[in-house]
Structure 1
């Protein structure tokens, strides 16, 4: 009984510890002062107006959107192929490829960033947006594979077997029998991959050239105290969009289980 009373207290304390600092960012983004401290001096929208009038932020946002869309598209396509082969046809190397696709999540981001920097330099690409896209595909792939593998594993194998017995080729089985049942999971995997790429910092830090992503721009502005309110306004908008996209991904994931 005592443990039953302590559990809600523990959960409440955990949620406050985890989300209270995050909640302070939108709050201080309206503070009429460059100091993030209580008591607040007043409410203002000046930092949001400054945010919209800063060209560097717009350019960093466009870079992040391009990279996130490209990385999420490639990662979702690769994850769909890998998980389908792992669950249904099951060629000899499919399980090994599936394990390798999920392995980057266990490797520290600094190690991944250094390794990719060496690779893109050897390949002649150098730090650039293309290099970041390739690095983010590696980062996004584990999440996409995990989501899609759970969905493909839930699809009865009898559906694919029945289609094959009726003379359908492997590609037709995938396109006509399996893929329609996995669209919502594919959408969830794409959304999670997009969020992962958009928010990723460590790999982008090593691979960015002269065109920084939005997280890199935010990092560069933290050195200047006068830029802190604008960074908080930007962070508040990113939190809002991320929460909406995360909710969409969860909705699609739950729909895929129906």
Structure 2
């Protein structure tokens, strides 16, 4: 048994290394070529340059797409987090089958392909008269971001002992006071984490935005449009590198907040 476990462990290290190389080498190459002083992404490298990053700052169309993504992301983050707090709290502390059903439905988009969601939402906004627009993108991104907020907040509310809420009720606090003065403050780090993840989900989302965008493209749609032009490839790689760094920082901050909620040790 020990020899078999040792043999399995001997394969584990090379497998993990191969997996990491397969997953992250293309990303590392994008970052590397974003500093290459050549239009073509090929070896050998021609030299080091920051001109592609400077071109990003001078691109007005890019700035417009960035502001669209930021504005949509902030709105989605607010709406999805409020909905996530409500759904998660009612499921855990409301003791209602209907709340449990709503929570399950809110997490369902994780299992539905993005193309299906995009097509369904496009039909819906056309039938409702909204049509492809920024508001339509917000609605679609809330649907996509909601599962992340519900999962994070559901876990946090489950981790808070019920005895805390029961003690507050014994002291005369009604349900609204218990939520506002007791449970919500204890869950605030997870709320901030969920808001960051919702913003990141919206900021990076492409498929739903592709179906619902009107005349104001988001940043992922702008990147997609630039891939048709070979001369724009270095700038696109520079933009991708900047988005990657931002996403890593925001996701890392969200995870730190999630793991260090009050009354909870590291997960």
| C-alpha separation in 1, matches of 2:110 and 2:119 | 15
Of residues 169, 176, 180 in structure 2, which corresponds to 1:175?
Answer: 180
Q: Which runs of 5+ in 1 are unaligned?
A: none
Report the alpha carbon displacement of residue 6 of structure 1 after superposing the two structures with TM.
Answer: 1.1
Q: Distance in 2 between matches of 1:118 and 1:171?
A: 39
Answer yes or no: is 1:40 the counterpart of 2:41: no
**Which residue in the other structure is 1:239 paired with?**
244
- Deviations along 1:41-98, one digit per CA (max 9) or x if unpaired, are 1111111111111100000000000011101110010000000000012233110001
> Alignment length, in residue pairs?
258
Match status 1:162 vs 2:153: no
Aligned to 1:140: 145
1:127 is displaced (CA, Å) by 0.6
Say yes or no: does 1:22 pair with 2:18. no
Take 2:163 and 2:94, find their aligned partners in 1: how far apart are those partners?
12
1:220 matched residue in structure 2: 225
Q: Which of the residues 99, 105, 108 maps onto 2:110?
A: 105
After superposition, the C-alpha distances for 1:135-185 in whole angstroms (9 at most, x for unaligned) are: 000000001100110110010011111111222111101011111110111
Q: State the Cα deviation string for residues 209-237 of structure 1 (Å, max 9, x = none).
A: 00000000000000100000010111110
1:204-215 equivalences in 2 (<5 Å): 204-215=209-220
In structure 1, C-alpha distance between the alignment counterparts of 2:171 and 2:194, rounded to whole Å? 31
Q: Which residue of 1 aligns with 2:157?
A: 152
Q: For the aligned residues, what is the CA RMSD?
A: 0.8
Instruction: Give the Cα separation in 2 of the matches to 1:84 and 1:145.
Output: 9
Question: TM-score scaled to structure 1, two decimals?
Answer: 0.98
Q: CA deviation at 1:124?
A: 1.3
Alignment of 1:118-137 (within 5 A): 118-137=123-142
1:74-113 equivalence runs, <5 A:
74-113=79-118
SS state at 2:260 partner? helix
Q: Which residue of 1 aligns with 2:193?
A: 188
User: How far did residue 30 of structure 1 move?
Assistant: 0.8
Q: Which blocks of at least 5 consecutive residues in structure 2 are unaligned?
A: 1-5
